Amino acid sequence: MTVGLLLRQARESAGLSVDEVAARTRIRPRVILDLEAGNLESSGGIAYARGHIRSIAKVLNADPEVLVAQFNQEADLGSRSMSDLLADNSATARHLDSSKISYKKLSIAAIVLIALLIIIPAVSSFFHGTPKMSKPTPKPSASAHAITAPTPASTPAAPVASATPSSSPATSPATTPTTSVSTIPASTVSFKAVNANSWFSVTDSNGTVLWHGTLYKGATESFNVTAPIDVTIGNAGAVDVTINGKDDGVSGTIGQVVHIQYGPGVKS
């Protein structure tokens, strides 16, 4: 489900019209309708659209972080280059012009450098002639001695390598932190829309969206968690909660938006 549909469902669940939301947020009705339709042109770019979504979510008592996270996934901001993101706000024109000038200067400097590298050795060889060619001949003999000398020194490297396996027992303490995680008891939390549809969102303690969308009447969503989860229910009186097989009842009234935590260590 797209951000536009989520915004429209949250607005309808709150019982507000587009004009009423526009009056509370001071955002033009045309922009709100375009956002609900998935059109960002009237918003003025991605950055402005993100700000409009946050403002609208606060008025509708919806979770702005969930809606913005869904918006970022739909806009696929992670795979876009920085130049593309800046282009959305018309911030890259002068940067591109200056980069063309710098490339031209670099190419000229490279040509000059290559010319110097070709001309200087040719001039030096012309004036000095061949006497310098006789000197490099004894150098290979010196390099041959340098190669044969280090060969005995390669044998002491073997004892150094043999000493490293002795440090392997140090890796065993690294397994101790994993045992502490397994001691946390898991909880099974189920949500069922018993008498009406409800907008519904679940995130973990790190802010990762586990599930969001419309929980239709008669549908059930269950989660096995080892840490508390944050739940937003757009129609609290329509959703019945069950924790570890025990019915916990509804968390609010019809049309009420609630934010609540469930999971290990959280009192119901």
User: Binning pLDDT at 50, 70 and 90, where does residue 96 land?
Assistant: very low
In a domain? residue 166: no
In a domain? residue 33: yes
What are 70-79's pLDDT values in tens digits? 898 887 654 4
Q: How far is CA 222 from CA 29, 31, 96, 190, 215, in A?
A: 38, 36, 51, 4, 12
In a domain? residue 152: no
In this structure, of 4-13, 49-58, 132-141, 154-163, the range with the lowest mean pLDDT score is 154-163
In a domain? residue 248: yes
Contact 88, 45 (CB under 8 A): yes
Whether 7 and 52 share a structural domain: yes
In a domain? residue 162: no
Whether 115 and 71 share a structural domain: no
As for how many domains the chain has, the answer is 3
What are 219-259's pLDDT values in tens digits? 999 998 888 989 899 888 989 999 988 999 998 899 888 88
What whole-number percentage of the chain has pLDDT above 70?
65
Alpha carbon distance 160, 203 (integer Å):
51
Q: What is the pLDDT of residue 266?
A: 72
Q: Which residues contact 49 (CB under 8 A, 6 or more apart)?
A: 35, 40, 43, 71
Give the strand pairing for 198-203 and 209-215. antiparallel
Q: What is the pLDDT of residue 58?
A: 92
The range of the structural domain enclosing residue 8 comes to: 3-76
